[in-house]
Structure 1
Amino acid sequence: MGYNTWNAFHCEINETVVAAAAVRMKTLGLTDFGYEFVNIDDCYSEKQRNKDGDIVADPVRFPSGMRNLTDFIRTLGLKSGIYSDAGWYTCAGYPGSFQNERRDIKLFQDWGFEFLKYDNCAVPFDEIVREGIVGKYGRMAQAIKDLAQETGKAPVIFSLCEWGKAQPWLWARDMGQSWRTTGDIEPRWDSIASIINRNSFISWASDFYGHNDMDMTYPPTEMLTPLPSGNGNLTYEESKSHFTAWALMKSPLLIGTDLNAVTKKSVEILTNKEIIAINQDKVVGTAITPFRWGVNPDWTFDGRYPAQYWSGTTENGTVFMLLNVLDEPADMFFTLTESPWIRAGRQYAMRDLWTHTDNGTAVRNVTIHGVPAHGVVALLLRDAGDEPEGTQPPCAQPDWCMDKNGTLIEREL
């Protein structure tokens, strides 16, 4: 959890911007909810390495030096992250780390950074790299491991930014703590919906040992600074859906908006402690998964209308996410036992994780009326004992429901 400079500032960064973001995280109270990293993205260095082969921090943008900056961030009780690339250059044309992995990771650690976002631009010719994508990222992963063994320090957290084309969820957990699953996010609902759709098929891959990285979060802003993409802003309801999906799918929670422009409601979204508690669950590491798609037949790949009905386990009960992907308000209905985590014949106390209210007991079914367009409902259900005796029909799920005497009940319904 933390902050990244790219979405808000792109290459317009300097030590003042980074330090101000760190201070703003403190003053907004974000650090009290687990946000701890301040990550510098691309464009922080000079265009060429020095005569010794080292990356050089831009002396105009960062005149005090990187170590002084990370030391300042550390005085606030925060940690720092840096950026590089597995190719010749970064995506913005600055020095990448290919063939300099050991040199660069030592420099980053000497500078005081504890997190590395590692991108995938400027790929060397095949006759030079002679590796697949696994080997190319493995070079930095091995450098991080070797440095930790040599220094006795904790290894730098390794966040692979491969964009999902090579299915990093199948191999990257042996290298790093997170892996990007899509291209860059944009502050538009269609971008959010598309990322949710793609991740609905691989949400099983997130656990304690690695996380599908769905890219940064975009809380609404007062637009004090224009968004680099020029694509507008998310609504309050869309931002709630965005944050809920990212948190419950166990994506890293890195804020990508200008913290000077966030609204009070935005901060309320980012500091929803009940949602964050599930993202940071110390007992259950797995993400929520869809149990019904809703608008489309199950398992339909549709970037506009992703899966709507999701559930998963937590240390305190079963969590449900209902996502209204329509452009108008809608009623949403599900049967409890559609979720594999719910026990048949039991009733459940229901808590709304956005209104922070206990909303009675659910028996068999739940209906939520008037879910806003592109809005979300997040519910935590806790077992409340046997359902009332004689509840009908005999099985909430009629498929192959049978009496002890052999009568197939489903045919009588």
Structure 2
Amino acid sequence: MGTAALNDGVGKLPALGFNTWNLYQCNYTADVLLEQAQAIVDRGLLKAGYNYFMLDDCYSLKERDENGRIVEDPEKFPNGMKNFTESLAKLGFRAGIYSDAGYRTCGGYPGSYGNEAKDLETFAEWGFEYLKYDNCYIPFDNVTQENVYGRYERMAEAIRARAEETDSAPLQLALCEWGWQQPWRWAGRLGQSWRIGGDIRPWWSALSSIINQASFIAGATGFYARNDLDMLEVGNTGIGTPPGNLSYDEAKSHFTAWALLKSPLLIGSDMASASRETMEILGNEDILRINQDPHVGEAVAPFRWGHNADYTWDPDHPAEYWTGNSSYGVVFMVLNTFDEPRHMSFNLTESWAIRAGRLYSVYDLWTHTDNGTAYRNISLTLPPHGVAALLLNDAGPEPEAAEPYCAVWWQCSYPNVLVVDDDDGWHG
């Protein structure tokens, strides 16, 4: 597994920002969206790094003009799309837009199949730098004579060609393929991120299902190319049926998993009405710092599934113990996938990034506190659907009297090659 990522200076790190779809779907105007953008600024999230404003589906008329160009909806954008993106830029945002690799978008508006270069010219003239590219209304096979890779490649090649012709930075390309054809194996050749499944919903079973899928493909993420777990549903959302919005602990787990798995973090909920708790979650500088690490692009990955045997597919109880490296220390994420509190523990050396025989300082990425030192093991109690996120750094040798002599005792031996044996004591 892995990617052949585009190292073209665009999209090295995950995008942070806001996406219009889950909150508004097709029901918005430029004024409504700019009010949301202003709320993001006023609540401090732009300063925290959420600087992309993504305009999703339904922004255009249903048909192209006589020259074959997409036309912005004059009722939604009475002052034009260029005025809208300029207004976003004045607030400090970079603008992103949406299109589709088929004849029409998922909402039934003009898609870009057969018009890739023309639509890119339009998007650039309007002032957009980021393209979410969906997968609806695809032509018949005997028309394209291509699979999903080939249809996405058409847009990727058009982006490359336009960048070369105009001597400009290419648009960042986010593929919305839904995971049906394992985009983590190939999409990094074309764009900077790829969706791994269907649309997110703001309840725990939907989140745990996405985390379960991510458990098996975490290693596909790196600089310029990453799994996209879909939008952040932290706070008040515009979609869903009961049970509706997430609990506080579920929202923390949601944000932590998305951020440490290096997914793009595009908010899908209302920031104008967001609670203090929602802002604390989305604005967690310690977690964002890991997501935006300029020197380590890899995501955390499971080192033990926990409730299930390793590599068990279980949308209700995905992998619970995760680790990875960062510029700031070794990262651990522990998830309680159950509906009740649980006592959970792990051996430090289960993480590949930990040195055996050493003490480690423990920093809590949620309480933002130094919690002393640990060696060999860490134990904690988590609330239902809760999370722990820890950052460990080497603090010197562990105590000389530490027993057993090895954290992984069955691999331990004396110089004369006597080895610990569970049944007989020692053998050689």
- Identify the TM-score tier after normalising by the shorter chain: over 0.9
- Is the 8 Å Cα contact of residues 88 and 122 (structure 1) preserved in structure 2? yes
Indicate the residue corresponding to 1:258 in structure 2: 270
Distance between the aligned counterparts of 1:401 and 1:123, measured in 2?
58
Bigger relative contact order (CA 8 A; separation at least 6)? 2
Q: Counterparts of 1:270-349 in structure 2 under 5 Å? A: 270-349=282-361
Distance between the aligned counterparts of 1:304 and 1:348, measured in 2?
32
Q: 2:221 aligns with which of 201, 206, 210?
A: 206
Aligned AA (1:373): P
Deviations 1:18-43 (A, max 9, x none): 21121111101001111101111001
Distance between the aligned counterparts of 1:228 and 1:392, measured in 2?
54
Aligned AA (2:316): R
**Residue 34 (1) aligns with residue 63 (2):** no
Q: 2:148 aligns with which of 133, 156, 172?
A: 133
Distance between the aligned counterparts of 2:142 and 2:415, measured in 1?
69
Q: Counterparts of 1:2-401 in structure 2 under 5 Å? A: 2-221=17-236, 227-231=238-242, 232-369=244-381, 371-401=382-412
Deviations 1:29-65 (A, max 9, x none): 0011111011110011100001100011111111111
TM superposition shift of 1:209 = 2.1
Distance between the aligned counterparts of 2:37 and 2:168, measured in 1?
24
TM superposition shift of 1:168 = 0.9
- Is the 8 Å Cα contact of residues 403 and 409 (structure 1) preserved in structure 2? no
Aligned AA (2:321): Y
TM superposition shift of 1:77 = 1.4
Aligned AA (1:243): F
Q: Percent identity?
A: 52
Aligned to 1:240, the other structure's residue is in SS state helix
- Is the 8 Å Cα contact of residues 398 and 410 (structure 1) preserved in structure 2? no
- Is the 8 Å Cα contact of residues 201 and 239 (structure 2) preserved in structure 1? no
Deviations 1:197-216 (A, max 9, x none): 00110011111121100000
Dislocated runs of 4+, deviation >6 Å: none
Deviations 1:327-358 (A, max 9, x none): 00111100000111111101100000000000
What is the aligned-residue RMSD (CA, Å)? 1.0
Distance between the aligned counterparts of 1:399 and 1:104, measured in 2?
62
Equivalent pairs counted in the alignment come to 408
- Is the 8 Å Cα contact of residues 400 and 410 (structure 1) preserved in structure 2? no
Q: Normalized against structure 2, the TM-score is what? A: 0.94
Deviations 1:240-285 (A, max 9, x none): 0000000000000000002222111101100100000000001111
TM superposition shift of 1:410 = 3.9
- Is the 8 Å Cα contact of residues 64 and 71 (structure 2) preserved in structure 1? yes
Q: Which moved more, 1:397-406 or 1:23-32?
A: 397-406
Aligned to 2:97, the other structure's residue is in SS state strand
- Is the 8 Å Cα contact of residues 13 and 43 (structure 1) preserved in structure 2? no
Deviations 1:216-248 (A, max 9, x none): 001123xxxx73223410011000000000000
Aligned AA (1:283): H
Unaligned stretches of 5+ residues in structure 1: none
Q: Normalized against structure 1, the TM-score is what? A: 0.97
Distance between the aligned counterparts of 2:56 and 2:421, measured in 1?
58
Unaligned stretches of 5+ residues in structure 2: 1-15
- Is the 8 Å Cα contact of residues 362 and 372 (structure 2) preserved in structure 1? yes
